[in-house]
Chains A and B, each alone.
Chain A
Amino acid sequence: MSEPTTKILLAHGSGGQLSHELVERLFLKHFDNPILARLDDAAVLQAGKWASLQVGDLPTCRLADFRLAFTTDSYVVSPIFFPGGDVGKLAVCGTINDLATSGAVPLYLSAGFIIEEGLELADLEQVVVSMATTAQAAGVQIVTGDTKVVDRGKADRLFINTAGIGVVPIGMELGGDQVRPGDAVILSGTIGDHGMTIMSQREGLRFDSPLVSDCAPLHGLVAAMLDALSPPPQSWGGAGGGGRAIHCLRDPTRGGLATTLNEVASKSGVGIEIEERIIPVRDAVRATCELLGFDPLYVANEGKLVAFVAPIAADVVLAAMRAHEYGQEAAIIGRVTAEHAGRVVLHTTLGTRRIVGMLVGEQLPRIC
């Protein structure tokens, strides 16, 4: 019998005894659920149970009517541990959020791990525990997965892919092309937290800062927003009920808020105007951006969403967001307009206007 190892070896990925031990002792132990425990080649998931799903005031789904949302993302962040989270938490939240912004109730995730030979088992376990905790708190199960180990140097410690399945209620028609002039642009909280936290962890850029990643699952926030609209107030005279008052939801991850707004402006053929003064940015994020020459509008977020909401519903949605754990600093940061279609315009604190373009490439620290 071999001695217990503290590091991941190539053999852990080869499908043999060590692989099985890893699955039993690490993944099964922490991702504890009956579907995964079967360890079949595929997870077979109950569909009928979800046919009676009710979301907001949208009608009960019939089996024939409900739709699946399906998404995937890979997570290669470095360092794998950072203030506010780790690559595992990111992998769970990121995929949940892609489902949530499509209006889906997130249900199941898969998790594929590509591990660099030599990674400490303790580190892998820490990531796995983090994923399990996050998933459980979010009411989502990790039901299938895969592990591969590659030679030292062929992967930066740990890469994770998660795919997610959720159920989309009938009548839910969110989309980047659904946004209309007059819509309120509502941001759920401060921007730039995740990206600047990661940036400040890099060699050569270290600052002692209270920066923390905002990594969080947002499906609860989305549910609260939808619930607040059902039933719609009498005074609205039947307009804007449930999911129909919210035209689009997006999570501004890579490329930041600016990139997301540009994508939507382009897809819907509308202009967007935002107020610099109102956009919430933490002091520490602002300071780090000034020091490195970054613009917070282009910095990644992992626990924020932007909602494009019919004007009649804006205040109600905003109140619901502010009442939720992940929307306490929500603000209406701007409006959609019929002018300058495809362009995003910022009203600066100085009282001037300027165009906010898409991010090209990545922002790099500058001296000039």
Chain B
Amino acid sequence: MASDKLETVSAIRNSEMKYIDEFRDPQLARSLLASIQACSKQPARFMEFCGGHTHAIFRHGLRQMLPPTVELRSGPGCPVCVTANADLDRAIALAKLPGVIMTTFGDMLKVPGSHGSLQTAKAEGADVRIVYSALDALQIARDYPERAVIFLGVGFETTAPTVAASILEAEAGGLSNFYVLSLHKLTPPATRAILDAGEVRLAGIIGPGHVTTVIGSEAWEFLPRDYSVPCAVAGFEPLDILQAVAALVRMFEDGQPAVVNAYPRGVRPEGNRTALGIMHRVFEVSEAEWRGLGCVPASGLVLRPEYVRFDASLTFPVDPGPTREHKGCRCGDVLRGTVDPPDCPLFRHVCTPAHPVGPCMVSDEGACAAWYRYGGADV
């Protein structure tokens, strides 16, 4: 009954950050670690696909707690880091067009392209604004009807449906000055590409929790089926990550690869059908250029022909000039999981958060930034 739920609302309001604090309980963490220690006999390298996991692992000091037999290696799950220079250059060129307001998530602002970043473009006079949501960009379009408002669409399957929904809202509202530059990418194809490349031996994959909220845990079945690699889908609190590691260790030691949903409160086997429907209504799948992985088939999202009038890349043809890669930068290798950041010769000596050479050092989710900021393994 609605009134019952309202009562519940008032009662719940007094408790603190529900679904977050309970999953940071130190005692429960200690016992999870004990179970991992008890179970893990052979050396195992697991890849945490998602940059948010890299960040959470460092923030909660999880790396040093794990037994020496368990190694965590970062993957390409940082949508900022995997944006190719050519795409970023295009976004910057669009931002510099007269009359354009370029709206973007904060993550992208400082990432260096071939010649500077969106931030340097802003310093040179481009109107670049940070937004929390694509809906905020829509509002800016309504507030400035005489300007072209372009939204920089980065992010994986967690974010793409929100951008799709925003485009539908723009359409319903008859907005004629709102555009999206879609650099959205899909995660399972990238995971396949890493395993197909065969450069790094992985005993398991920590699956991205919120991507999987949308795509469903069944979407990862190809890992045990085609590659005999176990997958544990993890949430982002420390207990979630430790549970996923415990599940991976168990499956690895038993030689029984499968997909385990270690985030059942947030993930269902079928995912969020509504979100997927909206995403596929607005976007269609295409090949995409990933930093580090090169061109990966069927891994990107572009606007469908019906929505072409919202497509910034078609409406505003720009020539960003030749793409330039930074010499010595090993972001590509880091993203492919073949090395850890300290293995890059530029790490810390030349490439620092204050003077980043590549995107892995700029983004908070980037492996290099996480290693730099949190000091690597031992304290």
Contact = CB atoms under 8 A, between A and B. Distances in A.
B62 interface: yes
Contacts of A205: 130-132, 136
A3 B175 CA distance: 43
A361 B364 CA distance: 12
A348 B374 contact: no
A357 B375 contact: yes
A366 B61 contact: no
Nearest to B369: A360
B379 interface: yes
B307 interface: no
Nearest to B378: A353
Interface string B118-157: 0000000000011111001101100000000000000100
B143 to A, nearest CB: 9
Given A204-B129, A360-B354, A361-B354, A348 B110 contact: no
A364 B61 contact: no
Nearest to A287: B17
Given A293-B364, A367-B159, A345 B354 contact: no
Contacts of A349: 24, 26
A34 B176 CA distance: 61
Nearest to B77: A368
Contacts of B375: 343, 354-355, 357
A350 B363 contact: no
By secondary structure, the A interface counts as loop
A343 B376 CA distance: 14
Given A286-B17, A353-B61, A368-B155, A204 B131 contact: yes
Given A367-B155, A368-B78, A351 B30 contact: yes
Contact of A368 (B26, B59, B80, B132): B80
Interface residues of B, number: 48
A290 B105 contact: no
A352 interface: yes
Interface in B342-359: 352-354
B60 A352 contact: yes
B373 interface: yes
Nearest to B355: A360
A354 B61 contact: yes
27 contacts: A202-B130, A203-B136, A204-B130, A204-B136, A204-B139, A205-B130, A205-B131, A205-B132, A283-B16, A292-B132, A349-B26, A351-B26, A352-B62, A352-B65, A353-B379, A354-B58, A354-B60, A354-B374, A355-B379, A357-B373, A364-B107, A364-B109, A365-B130, A366-B107, A368-B52, A368-B105, A368-B365
Interface of A: 202-205, 283, 286-287, 290-293, 295, 340, 343, 345, 348-355, 357, 360-361, 364-368
Interface of B: 16-17, 20, 24, 26, 29-30, 51-52, 58-62, 64-65, 78-80, 103, 105-107, 109-110, 129-133, 136-137, 139-140, 155, 159, 238, 352-354, 363-365, 372-375, 379
Given A348-B61, A354-B375, 5 more contacts: A204-B140, A295-B59, A355-B373, A360-B353, A367-B105
